[in-house]
Amino acid sequence: MAGEQITLNSLPLGKRAKVKSLTSDGTIRRRMLDLGLVSDTVVEALQKSPSGDPTAYHIRGAVIALRSEEASKIMVEVN
C-alpha cells in the first residue's frame, strides 16, 4: 500500500498520507487550499463520526472534519 495513490476518503483510520493533488475546482478548491491541503502536506485520518460521515483528519496541527464527497476530490500518497 505504501507509495500508492488513493483518494483521502479511502485512507484507513490511523494511517498517514501526503497530499498529491486536488481534483476539485472553484470555491471548494480554494477552501481546501485555505485549510492547508497543498502538495506534500501530511494528513492523518483520525476518526469517523457515529453516522460514518464526516471524518476527522489531522492536518498541519489542526483537526478538520471533511465530508466524504469533499475528501474524494483529494488524491494522497500513502506513506
Q: What's the CATH number where 41 sits?
A: 2.30.30.90
Average pLDDT, the chain: 93
Print the domain residue range for 39.
Answer: 5-78
- Domain count of the chain? 1
pLDDT in tens, 17-34: 999 999 998 999 999 999
Cell of 71: 475528501
Cell of 56: 476527522
pLDDT band of residue 4 (cuts 50, 70, 90) is: confident
